[in-house]
Structure 1
Amino acid sequence: MKTSLVLLSLYLSTVLSNHQEPCTTRTLSSTVPPSRLNFNASFLVQNIEEELHRSSNFTSAARNILSRQWDIAGAILATPKEHILALNLNSRLRMFVNQTPETQLFWRVFEATASGWGAPFKDCHFFGGSWLYIYAYGGSRGAKIGLFAPVVLDECDGGIAEIFGGPHKCRENQMCVDGETWKNAKRGQYTCRCNPGCQPCPEICPANCVGNGTCPIQRMAYLRTAILLVQLTSMGFVMFLAGMVFVLRKTKAIAVGMWTILETILVGVLVLYSTVIIRLFEPSVSRCLLEPWFREMGFVVCYGSIILKLYRHLIEFRTRKAHRWVVKDTDLLKYLLIMFLSALAYMAAYTALTLNFISEDFSLIETSWTGSGELFETCKYLWWDYVTEVGELTILAFGVHLAYASRNANTQFHESTFLCATGSIELAVSFLFYLARIFVFHKLHPDIVLIAYFLRSQLCQTCTLLLIFFPKFWYQQRQARTLAQEYSCRFPLDAFKERSSSANNSDVEISEITIADMNPDDIRAELKRLYLQLEMFKAKTICRDNPHISKRRGGRKAQHRRFSLQSLHSRRKDRDRDRKRDIDMDITEAEPSRTPEDSVCSTDGASAIYADLPEANQPY
């Protein structure tokens, strides 16, 4: 049992010794003045020399010196007759006569030092990797005496920086403290403290920390480049949509949505996308003035057009009204121009007031610190911005109110629903964004704030594009596919054979002709005739049980009579109602509305024949 324990202890000691870092002897390349010594080396060496003159016993002299000065590691004597080395090993004096392989390092360093302090060296045999100073003194009668003193390993000591592979990393306005180690010369065993009157640098501050603890922020170039590429791609997609809307402006899906208003929405989205690109530049007076301009003008053009479309839906589909207001596309453009000019005047006042403040030494740039202590510059948040944000939210809330008021309107292609969703998303995202901007953004890294602006732009503007334009192109493509499938077979006109033949004064049986054998002009004429009959039937059905609807052509009133005058002419209408009813019905049947729509209050609608049908030379 005892034998097993002994073997186990030997094995463990061997393993532990193998895991220790190997020790190699070293000698510094230059002489280093000692520091933190509690004795006068020159005085002690002279005492040893005096004792040698009295007794010629170096062992006794070394024992006396080492017993009084515990911080001396050893003494050495070289004369023409003898060479003696005395080392203080664990408070015990050990003498080495003449040179041995173990003491060769001590003799080599001693011989290399002529007089005074020599280069420090590292001993691995007796002192376990400790560094030692050497002091040599050339006495009389050819004797040379030396002392060895341990080196206090302090990385803050610039004289022994070679031991650690270089000086410490503290700056000029900092002091290095607590860097003492004894045997293991490991780097980083120190602390940098600020000098009196100096502020500390943040912990995460990179190497560019400047005076007084100021740490300028470092921006991520890759992130800014990625955001720039995404924004430019989105702007290019907007331009592509603008071209598609212009090309398909005569199709039903685009014409019903007022292609001019759709183009203005795209212009507004394009301007809103550019606000994120402006934020990529460093804060300056020009950037602080341009960003609100692009934001507000783009907001008015984009969401002002959406609100005007909702207003038109509400006016066209309102109920319990005797007469109907007519809102044309040109009227909407006039209203939008008024909104644009109002926003232009508002921003001009903002710019004039801000420039006045700048002339009075008021700065638009402020310096802020992140939560980690990094310094950055940003545009100052003004009270004017609060007013602008409240105005934006009010306009969006009004648009949502219009959408709610016209919620029962049966618009084509569910346009009202998508417009309402667009306004609601912008209202919710902007409300949360402005709250975060007031309470959170001033403590965040500018790159994080830039990401927030980027996400807001993508959530709002990209959703606007998808909700407004994707359904229109999808319905248009779906309608084109449906018509193409119907044209690939025979026309189902057997039920209308007699009426079709009589109406066209043709001797050809249409039910016996395929689409491949018919002329495109004949197809178009037949479909127009069918649409005309359906519109006449719809107008007659609507007017049958709704006597309050105007019998005039298209349901339109004169420009000076867009309001009800029934109270002034009630007696005259009661007297002539029976006599004129038959005549009005005949007129309605003979001249149907040129602009039919699905409104429950009128027979008016878009005055155009949509080019939904593919021509012979037009691809589906």
Structure 2
Amino acid sequence: MGKVICCKIILIVIFVTSTEGNVQGRKENIEKSLQIIHEVAIKSFNILCAGKDYKPLSVTISTVRFDSARQKADLAATLLQDLGVAHHNGLQDAIAKNLLVSESSVLSARVLAINASSGYLANTAWWQRQGVELEGPKKIEKSISLEPGRRIHYPWYEDPDTSPSLRSPKFMEGPLNVTYKGWWTFPYYSCSARRWLMSYSVPIPPPPGRRGLKGFLSLDIDISHLEVNQCEKTIQNRQNEISVFHGTHKCHNTTSRCIYGAHILPKWSRGRYQCVCRDGYYSPHHGGIFNGTLVEVAWQQKEENITDTWDLIFECKKCEPGCHTCIDQSPCLATYNWPFRITLLVFSVSCAFCTMILNIFMFKHKRLKVFKVASPIFLSITLFGCATMYLEMAAIFPVLDTYSCIATKWSRHLGFCITYTALLMKTWRVSLTYRVKSAHKVKLTDKQLLQWMVPILLVMLIYLGTWTVSDTPTAEDILDNEGLRFKQCVYNWWDHSLAIGEVLFLAWGIRVCYNVRNAESLYNEARLISYAIYNIAIVNIMMIAFHLFIFPRAGPNIKYFLGFIRTQLSTSTTITLVFGPKVFRVLRGQGDQWDNKARSRGVSASFSLNGIGLVPEEAPDLYQENEELKEEIQKLAAQIEFMKIVHMEVNNRHLKPKTGGYFSSVNAPTVIHNPSAKTGGCLLAKAEDL
């Protein structure tokens, strides 16, 4: 078993080694061929053809485009083999001429009769196009290039020492799974024709059992119209491009790309392309566009260790980070002032942490009247929303991407919705109780308000979730005043729709606050919440104006600072207005005392942001109930006393009003009406005056 594994490993190593050797050899052949093409293109004719009449390449070219000529040659060779080439000189001449006439790409056609034993030429029929270097129709004439009695040394003829069954090195390998009757030569430059040619040769052996003359048929195909494109193969490549040369350019692939089309050069030329710097790269030389011929020469000099021009001149330099295109090393990205941003972030996170501490402090003292009458559950929800809005500064702190944009949208809008809705629900309850004209008490518990609040938060959650899943917020590049680029979250119709909804929500909250502007409450909480709601609306409107009109192209640091200012002015101010007086009273030891100033204006102990006639969800407070019963008894006693005096006055009209008394027209007391104790307070004042 071990021997088998070792043998397999050895075979794999041999296969890989041979494959690598074949690839390396193929690259060397391509480079040699490109060098020959370069010499043909730049050297004068006399120097080029002084030594040899042919300049063969060693690369394989697809011959599919010439299949029509090949099939005709195969058919003609079969005919000559059947009839024999020894006794049909006229037939040989006719076949060669018709092969030339039938195909426009054929430059010359010939049928040879060769002595099978000596290899000398016996006779020939050779037709070719004259004036091939001229444009337009070519004259077809019979050639006298070959003379009988001489050996043949042409690219299209097999070596004298090989037989028709063996492959000569001057012929290309045929396609896999395809059998040709003849062989294609490698491309070569013909000095006599001054063109690039390929020849198809078909040997015609003598009839079986007979010796004497053997036949040979060949066609010369003009391939000068093909193009040497050294750039990578693309969909736009034309059919007349030689695919074997694709990807042989000498551009620095990592920093530049090859663009084919230097039409000032012949089609068969090395370096018929340009090297152009890729996006994100630049070159101080030649504007980042290099001639392919110069690049080829520089690369060859580098290979020969002559100069390093190929690396020094023709390699593009990387632009500064964030630059899609550039012409020098100027920055393209806006600079982030990280110490400044970290300072603002630490302060915002500290505020969020203090908010949580304040929440713990409130729950620890939730039985104190200053917190109890203000619905601790709604105060806790408000603090949670404020902490969420503070965390927006953490979401927009780094260089924005998809995840930070999602966190930004959620923290900003969800935090606003939680905070604003909690405050508005309490104010709305005051508005409902304040507008009641009947003696019946409105009972709105915290549980009932939460049932109204949950659908609002649910709508916001559904909207944000749908937004995140269907059209995930992403970051886009924008420019600041200096043309430097930085990331900002995309604003689209999702943002605009939500902004319109929040503006309408703010408008409704302002209307509710306006309705309760004269309402009296314990600890003056209704008015403070109204101020907080007004502040939220004003701050958001001002920040929108700053972003759109005053600083439309502000840099990332200014935008971060504006976000910090907005958060502090809206969130910190809200916490200060709503919780500041309460915490101050608790620290002074007055958290469990009634607001005597409000009570002096006729505000009952039950009139607060917890509602009038609130049904407590906890055990009843006997002290509070006793206080409320005393107030009701005082109201009833004042009403009874007032009715007694009124009836006595009606039935005894001879009695005159006491000077300075209640019924005196001169010194009639001014009665202050209170919305919560409208009747009882007035009657009490009248009774005391009497």
Q: TM-score range by the shorter chain?
A: 0.3 to 0.5
| TM-score, length basis structure 2 | 0.41
In our comparison, the structure showing a higher alpha carbon Rg is: 2
| TM-score, length basis structure 1 | 0.45
